[in-house]
A and B are shown apart, each in its own frame.
Chain A
């Protein structure tokens, strides 16, 4: 592959421990899919194609968290093969829901699910990709927002910074002119500490935000914890709220551990 020749950027999609939902977001971009496929070479994307070309790749998209020794090795190889490495989704950027094991005895977990635990090989922690290799951009969300995803790919191909805001869900709620469900109805809501991206979906559907996009840039988790208590939430409930799909993101992790200590 000559760098002088005008080649289409080669994209690889790699999966680690995850639900497949974030890579499915690409296939869910029904109006844009054939356009994207025309602009790039999809060199490796097993969920969509049998054709699998070897690296190097211009852009690597990584879904999923690292939970096994083999995957901890594999991500090193993926990083070596990708000029730009982008992680997509809460599993890849924060360890995902499977990071709930990080507070428990994983051997006990294996015994709960499997009759012959000795066949199962797994690590004690579920960790984000950036804990293993340098990552060029992290796209948050459980699942990611497909429009943010398309913006990210477009920006990366154009060599500019993607326009992905890091402010809170509250901003999105205000833009939609939602009445604040926490203030008016006393519903516990993680919106103030959670990064925007979903379009303030939960509050728009009459429920509190449960933190799919992880911590916003400067989350005041202590203030929110106090507010949850004022709304009558027990510390165990507050801890559970922070311990969702982005539980291992350090700000949420710290907040949940502080609730457990009190």
Chain B
């Protein structure tokens, strides 16, 4: 659509994302002149004030970066510290950490699929409005979410900022019977997740495929949570310790979050789509089958289909949770204690939104002298802008309101967590018409 004069589309606040940001798109005729994902959430300087704190405090402090995925922070922090200190954790602790992460994935993915993202597909402003017409769907979602939270609460004491995760293990580990009590809930959750895959697969998806560099952890035997090599579909295959050799963070004027790029290549994508495409063979049979029946075959290159992939990951998390519950034998001690010592340690774990990198350097008193944290959303930030540059061009002829909603939907496909990345999203589309 071309014509005279300039049109500006503005949505002052893009909703249903975590944290505060804005999106600005400038269209000149059919051409996208500028895309900025502006993160105006004020910076909180975690990396600076972690200096001088004891290594044992890092899981508690970094959890406060994000109320949606505190466990991811606790896991990356604990693993990085364990590496710095040369600690080996008990296999039972490792299994409990996987279960802990299953709980967070179930809670976070359910929140996103049903309450933050589905309303876009069905034409509602929010899940509450959606509940008026789809009460049973929303009630099921709330029950599923609650089961995720129940797991987190059991292992961590509470849903948000759990208190039991520690460097070396947990402060307290559950009894076998306590985990057994989760079985009925997890079995129900597995069925509900399979229904979620079928339900999301029936939504309408815009036709939008991109050539992404997918980056995720990959482990020899399992779908990744806490360990593995960092790999991509373009040949990347590195250890966490090499992360900073291959990825670089750039500061851009319009954002309080740093943009991360693959050195020499540019933007990349982390999160459910990347994990699924790179680890399809590691999904349990039930999740793989559900994915194929939903028409998902790797590589999935349509970001809007992330909602279905998240549902497949829900199936995985429930199945994995059940496995953990069955296999669990309490460890001899809840955690291994470490003496203070000098060291440097890095770790990458899979937060619900994608890889989360932590690095710490410790002094002889076990105090942090340097910290670096790269959250998933700052890694996806540039990729979101790249997507919108392509996608907005397709929408250039659309009425402003619809185009804006579609752009918001694209951004929400990433489940951005801006509290993490500095930590709300405002969409602003400016259209400058060209003369014919």
**A binding-site residues for B, Cβ under 8 Å:** 15-25, 27-28, 30-31, 33-34, 37, 42, 46-52, 67-68, 70-71, 96-98, 100-101, 104, 106, 108-110, 112-116, 119-120, 122, 126, 142-143, 198, 201-202, 204-207, 210, 212, 237, 240, 244-245
Residues B253 and A119 in contact, CB atoms below 8 Å apart: yes
CB–CB B67/A19 < 8 A = yes
CB distance B138 to A34 under 8 Å? yes
**Closest chain A CB from B78 CB (angstroms):** 14
Contacts A15-B20, A34-B128; A49 near B15 (Cβ below 8 A): yes
B128–A240 CB distance below 8 A: no
Given contact pairs A51-B15, A113-B47, a sample of 13 additional A-B residue pairs in the complex whose CB atoms are under 8 Å apart: A20-B18, A21-B160, A21-B161, A30-B142, A34-B131, A34-B139, A67-B44, A101-B45, A114-B43, A114-B258, A198-B158, A205-B163, A212-B161
Chain B proximity of A49: nearest CB distance (Å): 3
Task: Kindly report which residue of chain B lies nearest to residue A25, judged by CB atoms.
Answer: B160
Question: What's the minimum C-beta distance from A89 to chain B, rounded to whole angstroms?
Answer: 9
B28 to chain A, nearest CB (A): 26
Closest to B45 in A: A109
Cβ of B19: which chain A residues have Cβ within 8 Å of it? 15, 20
Q: Is B125 an interface residue (CB 8 A)?
A: yes
> A52-B13, A68-B42, A113-B48 given as contacts; is B66 within 8 A of A20 (CB)?
yes
**Cβ-defined contact, A115 with B126, below 8 A:** no
* Complex contact B126–A28 (CB within 8 A): no
Q: Is the Cβ of A201 less than 8 Å from the Cβ of B15?
A: no
Report whether A143 and B161 are in contact in the complex, using a CB–CB cutoff of 8 Å.
yes
A-B contact count (CB 8 A): 184
Complex partner residue of B160 from A24, A46, A96, A97, CB under 8 angstroms: A24
The answer to whether A24 touches B68 (Cβ under 8 A) is yes
Please name the residue on chain A nearest to B166 by beta carbon.
A207
Is there an interface contact between B172 and A48, defined as CB atoms closer than 8 Å?
no
Task: Give the complex CA separation of A63 and B53 in angstroms.
Answer: 25
Residues of A within 8 Å of B14, CB to CB, are: 46, 50
Select B64's contact among A15, A49, A51, A97, beta carbons within 8 Å: A97
Residues of B near A50 (CB, < 8 A) are 14-16, 119, 125-126, 408
Q: What CA separation (Å) do A1 and B79 show in the bound complex?
A: 54
Asked if A206 meets B131 with Cβ closer than 8 Å, knowing A15-B424, A101-B49, the reply is no
What residues of B have a CB within 8 angstroms of the CB of A115 in the complex? 250-251
Q: Which residues of A contact B143 (CB under 8 A)?
A: 30
How many angstroms between the C-alpha atoms of A24 and B152 in the bound complex? 15
The residues of B that contact A98 with a CB separation of less than 8 Å are 44-45, 49
Residues of B within 8 A of A17 (CB): 41-42, 44, 423
B250 to chain A: which residues have CB within 8 Å? 115
Cross-interface CB contact of A37 among B20, B128, B408, B419, cutoff 8 Å: B128
Looking at B54-62, B199-207, B234-242, B305-313, the stretch in contact with chain A turns out to be B54-62
Whether, in the assembled complex, B121 has its beta carbon less than 8 Å from a beta carbon of chain A, the answer is: no
- Whether a CB of chain A sits under 8 angstroms from the CB of B82 is no
Residues of B within 8 A of A207 (CB): 163-164, 166, 171-172
Complex: A205 Cα to B297 Cα, angstroms: 44
Q: Are A48 and B424 CB-contacts (below 8 A) given A20-B18, A207-B163, A210-B60?
A: no
Give the size category of B's interface with A: 35 or more
**3 A-B pairs closest in CB distance:** A21-B67, A49-B126, A109-B48
Take A47-B18, A104-B49 as given contacts and tell me if A19 and B43 are in contact as well, using a CB distance cutoff of 8 Å.
no
B66 contact set on A, CB distance < 8 A:
19-21
Type the 1/0 row for B306-350, where 1 means its CB is closer than 8 Å to any CB of A: 000000000000000000000000000010000000000000000
**B426 vs chain A, min Cβ distance (A):** 9
Contact of A42 among B42, B57, B128 (CB under 8 A): B128
Kindly state whether residue B97 has any CB partner on chain A within 8 Å. no
Q: How far is the CA of A114 from the CA of B67 in the complex (A)?
A: 23
Complex CA distance for A245 and B143, rounded to whole angstroms: 31
Q: From residue A137, how far is it (CB to closest CB) to chain B in Å?
A: 20
Which of A15, A20, A97 is in CB contact (< 8 Å) with B68?
A: A20
Residues from chain B with a CB closer than 8 A to the CB of A122 are 42-43
Chain A residues with CB under 8 A of B163: 201-202, 205, 207, 210
Q: Shortest CB–CB separation between residue B373 and chain A, in angstroms?
A: 10
B404-424 CB mask vs A (1 if < 8 Å, else 0) is 000010000000010100011
**At the interface, yes or no: B145 with Cβ under 8 Å from chain A?**
yes
The B115-134 residues at the A interface (CB cut-off 8 A) are 115, 119, 125-129, 131
What A residues does B149 contact at CB under 8 A? 28, 30
B358 at the interface (CB under 8 A from A): no
Contact of B13 with A48 in the complex, beta carbons under 8 Å: no
For B272, the chain A residues whose CB sits under 8 A away are none
CB < 8 Å neighbour of B67 from A101, A108, A143? A143
B 16-54 contacts with A by CB, 8 A:
16-20, 40-49, 51, 53-54
Nearest CB of chain A from residue B129's CB, rounded to whole Å: 7
With contacts A19-B67, A67-B44 taken as known, whether A114 is within 8 angstroms of B251 at the C-beta atoms is yes
Q: Tell me if B67 and A24 are in contact (CB < 8 A).
A: yes
What are some 24 contacts across the A-B interface (CB < 8 A)? A19-B423, A20-B19, A21-B160, A22-B67, A24-B67, A25-B160, A30-B146, A31-B142, A47-B15, A49-B15, A49-B128, A50-B14, A51-B125, A52-B15, A68-B42, A71-B42, A101-B48, A112-B48, A119-B251, A143-B158, A202-B171, A205-B163, A207-B172, A240-B57
Known: A115-B251, A122-B43, A202-B163. A20 touches B67 (CB 8 A): yes
Chain A residues whose CB sits within 8 angstroms of the CB of B53 once the complex forms: 240
Query: Which residue from chain A places its CB closest to the CB of B370 in the assembled complex?
Result: A112
